[in-house]
Amino acid sequence: MLSRESKEAKMMENRIKRKEREILKATSLLLGLSLVILSTHYVGLAEAWPTTRYYAGYWYGDDAYARGTSGSIYTINPSVPSNNFYCQWHSVVISYTYGYWVQLGYNKNSTTNVNKIYIEVLDSGTPARHVYWYGTPSAGSTHNYLIWRNTGQSSWTCTEDSTNLRTVTPSPYMPVDLQSMSESTTDTGLSINGTHFSYLSFYTGSDWWLWDVAYADPDPCYTMTYDQYYEFHASGGA
C-alpha cells in the first residue's frame, strides 16, 4: 500500500502529466492545418481538416520502460461527415513540449472513405510531419500494432501484426510517454461505438509486458469502460 507521501507524490505526478497532455493537445491543434498542407504523403490535401480534436483513450504516464508500445485495436467503420476524419492509434510521445511523436494505427477520412493503416512521425525535422499509408483493415477485424526500438538504437520499427511496415528515426528519439487513443475531428455525427483496445503492452528491450498503470481523460462526448490498465472500450460521438 502506498504511504500518504507516496500517494501525494503520485497525485502531483498525475497532475503534471495531465498538464503535459493538455500542452500536447494544444500544440497539435496549432500545428494541424499547416502540417497537413506541408505533408506530401497525406491523402486529400485539398481538404482543410478541422483543427479541433476529441479523444478517448489511455496514456501510460511513465517512460521508464518505454522502448516500445503495442496492443490490439478493433476496426470500427462508422460513416464520416464531410471534411472530417477519425483515427485510432498507439503513439510513442517523444516531446510534450513541442508535440513530437511516432504514431501507428488506422484512419478513415471523408476524402478516401476507407480505413487505412498509417504511420505518422512528427519531429524537429523539415518537413516536421511525415505520414505513410499502408493497407486497408476490414471492418470488424482486430490487428496488433507495435512501435518498438532495440536498446541503444535511435530508430523505431512500426509493425502491423507480423509485418514490419517501416523503420523511422525521429529527432529527438527518446520517449517521454506512451498513448493509445481514439481521435476524431468532430464530437457530433461521428460514432466511435465499438471501439476496443486490448493487450496494451510496453517493451523493455527484451520482453513485452502488459500495461500496469494507465490514465484516462476522455472528452465529454465519449464514454469509456476501463476494463483493465491494458484494455478499454469507448463509445459516443453521434
Beta-carbon contacts of residue 104 (< 8 Å; ≥ 6 apart): 89, 90, 91, 117, 118, 119, 120, 145, 146, 147, 158, 160, 165
In this prediction, residue 49 carries a pLDDT of 84
- CATH 3.30.200 for domain 4-236, yes or no, is no
Beta-carbon contacts of residue 206 (< 8 Å; ≥ 6 apart): none
In this prediction, residue 65 carries a pLDDT of 66
Question: What are 12's three cell numbers?
Answer: 502531483
Q: Maximum distance among all alpha carbons in the chain?
A: 56
Q: Which residues of the chain have pLDDT under 50?
A: 1-12, 14-16, 19, 23, 25-47
DSSP states along 94-140:
EETTTTEEEEEEEEEETTT-S-EEEEEEESSSSSSEEEEE---PPTT
Residue-wise pLDDT tens digits, 157-212: 999 999 999 999 999 999 999 999 999 999 999 999 999 999 999 999 999 999 99
Cα→Cα distances 6→13, 29, 88, 214, Å: 10, 35, 34, 17
* Residue among 210, 174, 204 nearest 60 (CA): 210
In this prediction, residue 2 carries a pLDDT of 37
In this prediction, residue 7 carries a pLDDT of 39
In this prediction, residue 29 carries a pLDDT of 41
Question: What are 212's three cell numbers?
Answer: 500496469
Question: Are the CB atoms for 87 and 28 separated by under 8 Å?
Answer: no
**Domain range list for the chain:** 4-236
pTM: 0.83
Question: What are 208's three cell numbers?
Answer: 513485452
CA dist 140 and 61 (Å) reads 30
